[in-house]
C-alpha cells in the first residue's frame, strides 16, 4: 500500500520542534530463537553517536519536542537498518503520548520504509507497559493504524507496570516482551517462575508471541526455556552494537540447550516449549 501524501499544514506541525533535537544514532540488539540460534529480530535502541546510554540522549529531549524526536527515531532506525542490509523484523520503541493524529504519525514511517525498500510488514512498534498513555482510545487508534498497514505491535516491559493484563485485553498485541525484572534469577525464584509460566500459557492461548528481555545468565535462559520461552534478548546472547547488527555470542545457544533443567520447573513445562505459531513466521522481503 502506497503512503498518502500529507497536507502542508499537518506536515509542518509534525516536524516542528520547540527546541533543537539532540544528536543521536541507533544501536541494535538481536532477539534470538534459543531453539534454533536464528536471529528472530533486531531492536533499535537510541544512543549518542560516540557511544553511551539512551539516558544521555533522552535527558536532552524537552516535553514539547517528544513528537519530533519520536518521529526522527523511527526514521533513523529504518534507514540505518536498511543501509546495514537488514531484512528481518525490526523492533522500534514509540511514545504514545508524543503522537498527534495516528495517520499523521504513521505517514512518515511509511514513506521512509518505501524510500529505502524496507518491508512494512517487518516493522514492530513497542509501547512500554509502564508508560501511561494519556488516552486509551488514542493508543488503540495508533495501534489500529499500524495494523491497517501490516505492521505489528508489542507490549514492552510486560510485568513492570500495573496494567499489563488490561493492555493485552484492550489492545491485543502481536507480541509481549517480559520485563527483565521477571527474568532476573528466575531459576531460583518460584514466584517469578510461576508468573512467567502463566504469561506464556495465556499468550499461547491468545496466539501472542512471548519474548524475554534482559536475560543475563545461562541459568535464567535455561529456566525460561523450560517454561516455554524460546525468544530471548539480553547481554547473555549479545550486547547492543552501535550502528551494526550483532550476531549471537558464539556457542551461547548450544550452552543454553545443554544446561541443566530448572529444578523448580514442573514436569508439564516441557510441553510449553513447542513453537507458538507466530515464531514460525518468517520476515517478509
Place of cell 510441553: 271
Residue 142: which pLDDT band, with cuts at 50, 70 and 90?
confident
The answer to whether position 283 is within a domain reads no
At 69-117, the pLDDT tens digits run 888 999 999 999 999 999 899 999 987 776 667 777 788 899 999 999 9
Please answer whether residues 54 and 87 qualify as being in contact, where contact means their C-beta atoms are separated by less than 8 angstroms.
no
The answer to whether position 10 is within a domain reads no
The mean predicted confidence, pLDDT, of the chain is 83
The answer to whether position 221 is within a domain reads yes
The answer to whether position 242 is within a domain reads yes
* Closest listed residue to residue 70, CA positions, set 105, 29, 19, 44: 105
Pure H helices in the chain: 8-15, 54-58, 66-83, 102-116, 136-148, 164-171, 180-183, 190-205, 218-226, 252-258
The answer to whether position 53 is within a domain reads yes
The length of the chain is 285
Cα 267 → chain centroid: 31
Please answer whether residues 272 and 227 qualify as being in contact, where contact means their C-beta atoms are separated by less than 8 angstroms.
yes
Domain ranges, residue 156? 21-271
At 34-63, the pLDDT tens digits run 999 999 999 999 999 988 888 888 888 877
What is the domain-level CATH number for residue 241? 3.20.20.450
Residue 283: which pLDDT band, with cuts at 50, 70 and 90?
low
116-143 residues labelled b (16+ CB within 10 A) or e (exposed): eebbbbbbbbbbbbebebeeeebbbbbb
Q: How many domains does the chain have?
A: 1
Average pLDDT of span 145-163: 82
Structure-block grid coordinates of residue 177 = 516482551
Which pTM was predicted? 0.84
Rounded CA gap, 254 and 141, in Å?
42
CB within 8 A of 173, min separation 6: which ones?
143, 153, 154, 155, 167, 208
Average pLDDT of span 159-184: 81
The answer to whether position 146 is within a domain reads yes
Query: Which range scores top for mean pLDDT: 83-97, 164-178, 217-231?
Result: 217-231
The answer to whether position 257 is within a domain reads yes
| Burial tier of 101 (Cβ tally within 10 Å: 0-12, 13-18, 19+) | middle
The answer to whether position 282 is within a domain reads no
Amino acid at each position: 500500500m502506497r503512503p498518502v501524501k500529507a497536507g502542508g499544514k499537518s506536515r509542518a506541525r509534525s516536524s516542528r520542534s520547540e527546541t533543537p533535537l539532540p544528536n543521536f544514532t541507533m544501536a541494535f540488539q538481536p532477539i534470538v530463537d534459543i531453539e534454533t540460534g536464528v536471529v528472530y529480530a533486531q531492536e533499535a535502541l537510541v544512543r549518542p553517536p560516540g557511544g553511551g546510554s539512551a539516558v544521555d540522549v533522552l535527558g536532552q529531549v524537552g516535553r514539547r519536542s517528544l513528537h519530533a524526536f519520536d518521529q526522527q527515531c523511527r526514521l533513523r532506525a529504518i534507514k540505518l537498518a536498511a543501509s546495514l542490509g537488514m531484512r528481518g523484523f525490526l523492533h522500534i520503541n514509540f511514545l504514545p503520548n508524543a503522537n498527534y493524529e495516528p495517520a499523521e504519525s504513521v505517514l512518515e514511517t511509511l514513506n521512509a520504509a518505501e524510500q529505502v525498500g524496507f518491508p512494512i510488514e517487518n516493522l514492530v512498534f513497542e509501547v512500554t507497559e509502564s508508560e501511561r498513555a494519556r488516552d486509551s482510545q488514542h493508543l488503540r487508534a495508533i495501534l489500529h493504524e499500524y495494523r491497517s498497514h501490516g505492521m505489528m505491535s508489542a507490549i514492552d516491559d510486560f510485568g513492570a507496570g500495573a496494567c499489563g493484563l488490561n493492555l493485552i485485553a484492550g489492545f491485543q498485541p502481536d507480541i509481549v516482551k517480559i520485563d527483565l525484572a521477571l527474568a532476573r534469577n528466575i531459576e531460583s525464584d518460584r514466584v517469578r517462575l510461576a508468573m512467567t509460566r502463566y504469561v506464556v500459557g495465556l499468550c499461547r492461548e491468545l496466539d501472542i508471541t512471548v519474548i524475554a528481555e534482559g536475560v543475563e545468565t545461562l541459568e535464567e535462559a535455561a529456566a525460561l526455556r523450560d517454561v516455554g520461552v524460546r525468544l530471548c534478548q539480553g547481554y547473555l546472547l549479545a550486547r547492543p552494537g552501535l550502528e551494526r547488527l550483532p550476531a549471537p555470542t558464539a556457542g551461547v545457544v548450544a550452552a543454553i540447550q545443554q544446561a541443566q533443567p530448572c529444578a523448580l520447573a514442573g514436569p508439564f513445562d516441557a510441553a510449553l516449549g513447542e513453537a507458538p505459531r507466530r515464531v514460525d513466521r518468517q520476515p517478509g522481503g
